Structure 1
Amino acid sequence: MRGIVFRGECKLELVTVPDPTPGPGEVVLEMKASGMCGSDLNVYRRPANAMAPTVIAGHEPCGVVVAVGLGVISPHARVGARVMVHHYHGCAGCEDCRSGWPQMCQRLPVIVYGQDAHGGHAPYMKVPADTLVPLDGRLSFAAGAAISCGTGTAWGAFERMGLTGRDTVAIFGQGPVGLSATLIAKAQGARVIALDIDEVRRATAKSFGADSVLNPIDGGMPDAIRELTGGKGATMALETAGAATAGQDALNCVRPWGTVGLVGIGAEISFSLAKMLRKQLRILPSWTMSIQAQKACADFVIERGVDLDALFTDRWTLDQADDAYRHFNQQNGGKGVFLM
């Protein structure tokens, strides 16, 4: 089979590798959708001399089980099952792994699919059966791919932050994660202030229900957010852009006792402890979501009728990989997905 491999310096290649065969405890999926994540760009842009050995990219996999290895007893690992993948695997026996957080495993180096082992940008993908999360038939495979990382990351952050319908949340960045956060926050009844430097993404956030949209290029975002909130500031802020200025503004736009969630990879943020102490802020970095949260996010999307398919502005085939990532690298649209 052929799959997409990043070569660094904004280059990629469709390489041929053997079709996967499941070993004990493993399954093979026929891929139906594999999402493009903003964190892909960190690898796509790396210097060529910093690239790892050939690994098929794609850590937002969604498909159908087509082969099952020995010893697999999970009810949703049967042939024909529609599934998402929780794209991490640890030792499977420690407290973190057994609680649904394999990315926090302290016993073994964590495998990240699409980075350390072959991912979903190919016709087939082999994973341990315990990484599977069932995909309800009411959700598209593309929606399942989004939940597998980008949308799930927004959900996981709000779960840690304790977002409710009483909150006013400022969401910095309206890329795939930020737009997912806007959809989820509105479905929970929160007031949303969406921020992005791109006009198209601001317009999309508005169409997704954002109560106010702001352009950070205008400057003075904390003051602008206080003006929108009667001088108080937001009760919560979520930084998804991975930009230092966005992180600083997120810290400075919330009112005393507020909560700031940080998920944007790449941001370097510093702050005065004395200032933060006197505001009694909660500052929470958040790394994707647990296996249980991935399923809970999917259930919420169904229950509230959240239109995750609206996230996708670009649908590609594997043969269009080069064009797909060149376009995605501009960071001025919605979410992209490879459909197989």
Structure 2
Amino acid sequence: MSTMPGVRLPGNSTVGHVTVPVPVPGPGQVLLRMRASSICGSDVRAIYREHLGHGAEAYQGVIAGHEPAGDVVELGPGVTTLDVGDRVAVYHITGCGSCAECRRGYPIGCTAPTRAAHGWQRDGGHAEFMLAEAVSCLRLPENVTHVDGALVSCGFGTAYEGLLRGQVSGRDRLLITGLGPVGLAAAMLGRHLGATTIIGLEPVAERASLATELGLLDVVVTDPADLAGAVGDATNGHGCEVTMDCSGNANAREAALTHTAARGRCVMVGEGGRIDFAVSDLLIHKQASLLGSWVTSLGHMAELLDLLDRWGESPERIVTHRFALSDAGEAYAVAAEGAAGKVVITWD
């Protein structure tokens, strides 16, 4: 039996290199040769540093990596929707297919005990090959790279879904708190969706500098004390019609709510933590909408891949570090510092 190298995350901020059998696709499955497998903040927060061990983030000791893209190299029995050689990104959660959320196209919210996410409960993309369900694989348009596809599999899909939940359009000014990879994605996509002014809050100097260099925002604020002035100047004191927290930080979340305009929409996508805020002042009296958004749907992921091709846009622009699989330890250490853009393991 042929084997391959892979990476598991034992916790305690360590990376484990293992050798495992190359899997064989069963009915409805395909075997992918990995080309890109990016690191998500959730990997660092919930697996690399420690194992949360419960709910959707219960890591089961599998091959890590839930942002995979690769090439189809073998078809399992009954697969007719894909061909060997197809370049694909993978929607990283497999649901039961019959619960209400699955029927809506959101396996992320599947309520069945059989729900399994790549890199969490089933083997992910940090190996030379990966098994995927054919239904979870989306062909990459010609001008969308493997790295682009990997980033869409979670981070950019999450940002896009949040923007859709916030109904961002050319009528809106957008505030983003937290300019890590998801925040940068929100800025990039928010501009294409029509946001007229984009303001970002990011106290980490390296990430604020990257956002400025990429030219994705109109204003980048590094000191939270300066945010009120920046938003006030950009909106004539009215606040932003749409705000999005991509940080998970309690203060940043409250800042997003505070600077949401009357009848505006505040979307939260940053995971973890808690928040305590003045409900009457920040929500009820402003008649604002507070929305949660979790990853995206299969349909919206496919839509985003198509839009990136039509827009001539590349998520790969926010990648600051690339590593080989053999250097996964260094890759995770860089991602865990919280100062980089996107960190990706590649085979190209």
TM-score of the aligned structures, taking structure 1 as reference length: 0.94
Q: Does 1:63 align with 2:70?
A: yes
Q: CA deviation at 1:53?
A: 4.2
Match of 2:33?
30
Match of 2:169?
164
Q: Among 304, 312, 319, which residue is 1:312 paired with? A: 319
Match of 2:201?
195
Give the number of aligned pairs: 337
Match of 1:258?
264
Distance 1:111 1:48 in 2: 16
The answer as to whether partners of 1:9 and 1:48 remain within 8 angstroms in 2 is no
Match of 1:278?
285
The answer as to whether partners of 1:86 and 1:132 remain within 8 angstroms in 2 is yes
Per the alignment, do residues 115 and 247 of structure 1 end up closer, same or farther by CA in structure 2, a change over 3 Å counting? same
Q: Among 107, 110, 131, which residue is 1:105 paired with? A: 110
Match of 1:124?
129
Per the alignment, do residues 49 and 263 of structure 1 end up closer, same or farther by CA in structure 2, a change over 3 Å counting? closer
Q: Does 1:143 align with 2:148?
A: yes
What letter corresponds to residue 245 of structure 1 in structure 2? N
Distance 2:33 2:53 in 1: 32
The answer as to whether partners of 1:200 and 1:332 remain within 8 angstroms in 2 is yes
Question: Please, what is the CA RMSD of the aligned residues?
Answer: 1.7
Q: CA deviation at 1:223?
A: 4.9
Q: After TM superposition, list the pairs within 5 Å mapping 1:226-241 onto structure 2.
A: 226-241=232-247
Distance 1:86 1:226 in 2: 39
Q: CA deviation at 1:47?
A: 5.9
Gapped regions of structure 2 (runs ≥ 5):
none
What letter corresponds to residue 334 of structure 1 in structure 2? G
Determine helix, strand or coil for the equivalent of 1:210.
Answer: coil
Per the alignment, do residues 129 and 222 of structure 1 end up closer, same or farther by CA in structure 2, a change over 3 Å counting? same
Q: CA deviation at 1:134?
A: 1.3
Match of 2:49?
45
Per the alignment, do residues 221 and 109 of structure 1 end up closer, same or farther by CA in structure 2, a change over 3 Å counting? farther
The answer as to whether partners of 1:150 and 1:177 remain within 8 angstroms in 2 is yes
The answer as to whether partners of 2:63 and 2:119 remain within 8 angstroms in 1 is yes
Distance 2:171 2:147 in 1: 31
1:104-146, CA deviations, whole angstroms, 9 ceiling, x for partnerless residues? 2223342111000100011100011111111112111000101
Distance 1:97 1:73 in 2: 21
Gapped regions of structure 1 (runs ≥ 5):
none
Q: Does 1:88 align with 2:97?
A: no
What letter corresponds to residue 263 of structure 1 in structure 2? V
Q: Identify the range of structure 1 (99-108 vs 295-304) with the bigger mean alpha-carbon deviation.
A: 99-108
Q: Among 309, 318, 323, which residue is 2:330 paired with? A: 323
The answer as to whether partners of 1:313 and 1:336 remain within 8 angstroms in 2 is yes
1:49-69, CA deviations, whole angstroms, 9 ceiling, x for partnerless residues? 998442111000001111111
Match of 2:248?
242
Match of 1:14?
17
Determine helix, strand or coil for the equivalent of 1:225.
Answer: helix
What letter corresponds to residue 265 of structure 2 in structure 1? T
Q: After TM superposition, list the pairs within 5 Å mapping 1:166-181 onto structure 2.
A: 166-181=171-186
Q: CA deviation at 1:257?
A: 0.4
The answer as to whether partners of 2:177 and 2:245 remain within 8 angstroms in 1 is yes
1:172-219, CA deviations, whole angstroms, 9 ceiling, x for partnerless residues? 11111011111111222311001111222222222333111101x442
Determine helix, strand or coil for the equivalent of 2:79.
Answer: coil
The answer as to whether partners of 1:262 and 1:285 remain within 8 angstroms in 2 is yes
Q: CA deviation at 1:99?
A: 2.6
